[in-house]
Amino acid sequence: MGLNPISWFKKAEPEKPKKKICCACPETKKARDECTATYGPEAPRCAPLIEAHKQCLRAEGFNV
């Protein structure tokens, strides 16, 4: 009663992001964009900001 053995074998669907990638993580996006616009995307000082933004996007469910 209430138990469905078939459901035990269903694979869990990966959780889809709740937002569009352009709208996720506005704080880290702004810091990353300002740094890369000022110093260029290859500037060593921007690397931590770029990585922080990637980590934020991953936490939101994006595969980056």
**CA-CA distance, 52 to 16, in Å (whole number)?**
21
Task: Determine whether the annotation assigns residue 22 to a binding site.
Answer: yes
Task: Determine whether the annotation assigns residue 46 to a binding site.
Answer: no
User: How far from 31 is each of 8, 42, 47, 48, CA to CA, in Å?
Assistant: 44, 15, 11, 10
Query: Encoding tokens for residue 35?
Result: 């740094």
Binding residues: 22-23
Q: Which residues are part of a known binding site for Cu cation?
A: 22-23
